Amino acid sequence: MTPMNGDVVTVTVDLPGRAYPVRIGQHLLASAGAFVRACSRAARALVVTDSNVGPLYAAALQESLQAAGFESELITVPPGDASKSLPQAAQVYDVLAARRHDRGEPIIALGGGMVGDLAGFVAATWLRGVPFVQCPTTVEADVDASVGGKTAVNHPMGKNLIGCFHQPVLVCIDLDCLRTVSRRDFVAGLAESVKHAIIRDSAFFEWHEAHAAAILAARNDILQEFVYRNCRCKAAVVVADERETATTDVGRAALNLGHTIGHAIETQCNYELRHGEAVGLGLVAAMDLAVRCVGFPDPHRQRVEALLARLELPIRASKTLDCQDILRRLGADKKVRDRTVRFIVPVTIGAVRWLDAPAIADVEQAIQRLLAPMPR
Ligand SMILES: NC(=O)c1ccc[n+]([C@@H]2O[C@H](COP(=O)([O-])OP(=O)(O)OC[C@H]3O[C@@H](n4cnc5c(N)ncnc54)[C@H](O)[C@@H]3O)[C@@H](O)[C@H]2O)c1
Ligand SMILES: [Zn+2]
């Protein structure tokens, strides 16, 4: 079903008037310049990266930009979510101002989701929006963050509180970049893929079950199909409900599966967990809530937990997890509407729905699941 032959494969995010390609393949940074050229006539570009990624990949990207006739400048920010901040964005604006970066000149993110969100936010706001290109380098960014146009920086009060929608003009995914991602970051990103499968694609869920070992081994052919199917899933959700305003069905909010409780865990742990690890735990809690409240079959829950565990994601939290504190944090979650916490929950593997204002006891039990003994 998927054109996996070692060549570049493309997913189109088919938004009316703003369609863009997601190109996926090996050794793709060498072609990035030509891809950018296909959507920009500018003479200059700005590349934003972090200090882990820059030394590994910025030269390859800048060489290919130069070969395509772009003079590029590189900005390197410190790694970690702390750089996804207004003060850091302000430093990038200073560089843009100094170089008189104009309306037609692209800003290119080279890095994981942190760099993508920060550079995307700057691209969205500089001169009310300049062309934005994503060159993601982590699993999290390849399968989720680079597609869909959500950009943000954090506020001390919480993650992603300041942001806007700004679709890229191009996403260029060089799978070779995943070779240098730490094992922990690689595995963490897999949680978003399991999420995509649960929300809309039971065949993709089975594919994960069949290929878990090959995914972990980062086999080239498997990685390409893995990223391709994720991008196709994300693109379909985004095209159907770009701004998460659907009222007749769950729309883009489906992507929040595992994220409501996941975010609360992430902030309680003071960001010591990877985003994907917190999402994995959030998925476990969401499955429990679904079993309790919407008749999600218990054997399905067991399959989800077993898959997450096979992918080496944590399915139980540290004993220090404070259930009451998580409940309080849910109250402050930005998904709260009219003082009513809503959750996305699966009804089966491949379909989700809203669960409105469940009994607090059920939410508490779902969080407690994360402290229950491990299944055998
Ligand atoms: N915009 C969206 O739709 C969206 C979706 C999901 C997540 N996000 C955001 O993405 C961020 C998390 O993304 P992430 O997990 O990619 O984190 P990250 O960008 O912080 O990268 C994780 C670590 O890996 C390093 N790294 C990145 N690429 C590397 C490579 N190829 N080789 C070696 N090291 C590399 C980074 O320097 C960092 O230390 C969060 O801020 C989250 O909010 C956004
Ligand atoms: Zn996420």
Tens-digit pLDDT profile for residues 69-87: 999 999 999 999 999 999 9
Closest Cα to residue 242, out of 10, 84, 51, 15? 15
Q: What Rg, from alpha-carbon coordinates, does the chain have?
A: 20
Query: Do residues 170 and 134 touch, judged by C-beta distance below 8 A?
Result: yes
**Residue 225 beta carbon below 6 angstroms from any ligand 1 atom:** no
What backbone torsions phi and psi does residue 204 show, to the nearest 5 degrees?
-70, -35
pTM score of the predicted model: 0.95
Mutate to test the pocket of ligand 1, among 13, 29, 52, 166 (most ligand atoms within 8 A of CB): 52
Query: Do residues 284 and 315 touch, judged by C-beta distance below 8 A?
Result: yes
Which residues carry out catalysis? 128, 150, 192, 234, 244, 252, 256, 259, 263, 275
**Residue 208 beta carbon below 6 angstroms from any ligand 1 atom:** no
292-331 tens-digit pLDDT: 999 999 999 999 999 999 999 999 998 889 998 998 888 7
Closest ligand to 274 CA? 1
Other beta carbons within 10 Å of 169: 20
- Amino acid 337: pLDDT: 46
Instruction: Give me ligand 1 centre to Cα 63, in Å.
Output: 23
At a CB cut-off of 8 Å and minimum separation 6, what does 305 contact? 284, 287, 315, 375
219-242 tens-digit pLDDT: 999 999 999 999 999 999 999 999
Closest ligand to 140 CA? 1
The DSSP H or E segment spanning 366 is helix 360-368
**Residue 114 beta carbon below 6 angstroms from any ligand 1 atom:** yes
Query: Do residues 118 and 56 touch, judged by C-beta distance below 8 A?
Result: no
- Looking at ligand 1, which residue's alpha carbon is closest to its atom 30? 181
Is it the case that residue 15 has pLDDT exceeding 80?
yes
* Residue 7: HSE in the Cβ half-sphere, 13 Å Cα cutoff: 5
73-126 tens-digit pLDDT: 999 999 999 999 999 999 999 999 999 999 999 999 999 999 999 999 999 999
Query: Do residues 119 and 146 touch, judged by C-beta distance below 8 A?
Result: no
